[in-house]
Structure 1
């Protein structure tokens, strides 16, 4: 069963629960330096009707290095179809963020490690597209990851090595153009910049990239 006791890691990570002030500074600097439209979408005031959600950021030890399980969503899904994200979803009635994150990890990937240990959480984030306030829960395991994917929610499981996350050459700035609608007709467009992580054929961007960037920054003493 999950535990809230800190765990010693063979990499320079300190318990996330002690990093509230540093998390805020890291997220603020990341938004201001590299993410267009961050205020009012990811980092601005959260609307009162936003739904609560949680994701599980798992540091999984494979005997040689730490890896982070990510999921590629089926293109058929309404929100974030085809994108890469952490396993997670909305809180059910009476659930804590930790309980929801672990449950969703199990539902999507078909496993809850016996030695799962909770380190803490990163900054909450309002994900504009799905109108969710997401709490990222950070955990560790040394158990071998043998996934049983839910095909409705997961098209592919991706193991991101810690070394790839911290490789600055994989992080790039991109731009995207989006249409502006009025009365269901396109009347204009706008362009925004965002920071993304390239891992093989996979481009990781948006809220997931912001969480990964924060994890990468607060993971070092």
Structure 2
């Protein structure tokens, strides 16, 4: 389960989340090197401000669940992901709850035994079964991976779909809220750890960064969040950026995510 956050402030980026659940039941404790750490092309850290740098400080502080709900009541419904040969539909669930007057989002660290994205920071989710909606798939996967009961989740909206080009997934992020910190049961065959982070902590100084990657097939902008529990990057990071933009009022129309971002 997600253990209670420690005594540090919930909006402090250095304490954004709950205690780790420890090694998985097979005794594996070391995560494999993620793709971003093995990329063979050139990588350059960009000296660019985060997307929320120009927002008034009060907009980036004290974000509560009511703020999130209001933002999604006025959120447009993104167009469905296009059907493409060889690309599998998938869905992930952004689970939000409030604690100490702060909205927090649940993240996982994938196990070292799953077939894709081993050891990476992610949201609970997976491939959609035949006939499933994105919401149904996201809730089912959250139950299978972290024991989150779907009946406790209120789905309040969705974000724009994302391409995971390296693994051929087309991902729809679903956003849901629960009434309080959830009690979870980790399926260690899929998830090594589960933790949570305050939305304000994601926007703290020094947490977000971008890199320019140059590969034979092009140049890509890659977003990162440096968290105490690990590095969220690629699709996970771009989903978090869109969530923060919506919640802080940074998105008012149907514009897509920033072009050129990589979605490994």
The interval holding the TM-score normalised by the smaller chain is: 0.7 to 0.9
TM-score, normalization: structure 2?
Answer: 0.62
Residue 204 (structure 2) aligned to one of 167, 171, 177 = 167
RMSD: 2.7
Instruction: Single out whichever of 133-142 and 10-19 deviates more from structure 2.
Output: 10-19
1:167-206 mapped onto 2 (5 Å cutoff)? 167-174=204-211, 192-206=220-234
Structure 2 portions without partners, runs of 5+: 1-63, 250-264
Shift of 1:93: 1.6
For the 8 Å contact 1:62–1:142, the answer to whether it is kept is: no
Query: Taking structure 1 as the reference length, what is the TM-score of the superposition?
Result: 0.73
Equivalent residue for 2:86, pick from 49, 60, 85: 49
Kept after mapping to 1: 8 A contact 2:162/2:170: yes
Distance 1:177 1:201 in 2: 27
Aligned to 1:122: 159
Q: Are 2:71 and 2:246, in contact at CA under 8 Å, matched by a contact in 1?
A: no
**Following the alignment from structure 1 to structure 2, what is the Cα–Cα distance between the partners of residues 140 and 97?**
16
Asked whether 1:80 is paired with 2:117, we answer yes
Aligned length: 185
Unaligned runs of 5+ in 1: 1-7, 25-44, 181-188
**In the superposition, relative to structure 1, how do residues 90 and 12 fare at CA in structure 2: closer, same or farther (>3 Å)?**
closer
Contact 2:94 2:176 in 1 (8 A): yes
Higher strand share: 1
* Alpha-carbon distance in 1 for matches of 2:73, 2:140: 21
Shift of 1:95: 1.0
Change (3 A) 1:12 1:116: closer
